[in-house]
Amino acid sequence: MKAVTPASMLAAGVFASFAMGGGALSAEQTTQLDAAALDAWWDFQRPDVSESRFRAELVRLAPGSPAALELKTQIARAEGLQRKFAAALATLDDVEKALPGATPRARVRYLLERGRVFNSSGAPEKAVPLFRDALDGARSAGEDFLAIDAAHMLGIAAPAAQQLEWNLEALAMTQSTHDARSRRWLASLYNNIGWTYHGRGDFAIALEYFEKALPAWEERGGSSNVRAARWAIARCLRSLERYDDALAIQRALLEELQRTGEVDGYVFEELGELHLARDDAAAAKPWFGKAYAVLSQDAGLQATEPARLERLRRLGD
């Protein structure tokens, strides 16, 4: 997503009016964040940068206003992506105090972000009821984008037997919406459904969804997302034992990364896995070593997949 200077977005009028019943309200009381501005400020690859942008904007807003409450939920999200879970929950506790007078959208965002923090910190059972409430609230408020977000999170956090159902529900909602921004969920949902089928061992169906995700990501733009979509196709091809096809894609990704001066430990890992699958441990070893050097620095993997990292270390040693 293209980075935009927060001040320039404010000058362009980044807040949208929110119609509420009752008496006359001031502009500060009836404005909420404009979705396009929020999209521009987010950089999910650099949540620390996003958090700084949000905090710079927060000081411009009236405390307790709909815009301020929404922005605080996004600060919490950025903190959660940095695995600063205690800080994220504290931020959301502050939002919760103002919820009785909040707009429906602010309440939905609060539920979504508290659920995301619980899920990311290893407590999906606490997250699921929050995502359900967020889904109900978003539907009642006519917030298609947030309703799809809630259903998509249920597809991640719900028990494994329910995940596909929720992902397909989110997909149906996305396909039926008339909101262009909400339809951008197609790329993520195709990807998530692909991984759900992959986890079930239904590799041929998974590949169909990964192949649908690629043009959806290309339409949205962003080279890193498009590369991730191509990587997923190659990963599934490995599961289907189509090693030559998978290797061709991973090598193409490697060449692209080398041209741009970027590094991707997951590409290194797959190159190692593909050589290992072809019974060439000697060729696999340096790739596993490269993968471990990069991925072992990932705090998320350290916390959630230590066995995977240890395997990379051992195979690349």
Q: What is the pLDDT of residue 31?
A: 74
Q: What length is written for the chain?
A: 317
The answer, yes or no, to whether residue 183 has pLDDT greater than 60, is yes
Evaluated on CA atoms 153, 159, 162, 164, the torsion sign reads positive
The values of phi and psi at residue 56, to 5°, are -65, -35
Q: How confident is the model at residue 8 (pLDDT cuts 50, 70, 90)?
A: very low
Q: How confident is the model at residue 23 (pLDDT cuts 50, 70, 90)?
A: very low
Q: What is the pLDDT of residue 44?
A: 87
| C-alpha 204: how far from chain center | 25
Q: What is the pLDDT of residue 32?
A: 74
CB-based contacts of 291: which residues, under 8 Å, 6+ apart?
265, 266, 268, 269, 272, 312, 316
The answer, yes or no, to whether residue 7 has pLDDT greater than 60, is no
Q: How confident is the model at residue 181 (pLDDT cuts 50, 70, 90)?
A: very high
The answer, yes or no, to whether residue 237 has pLDDT greater than 80, is yes
Please give the domain boundaries of the chain with CATH numbers for all domains. 1-19+26-122 (1.25.40)
C-alpha–C-alpha distance, residues 78 and 132, integer Å: 22
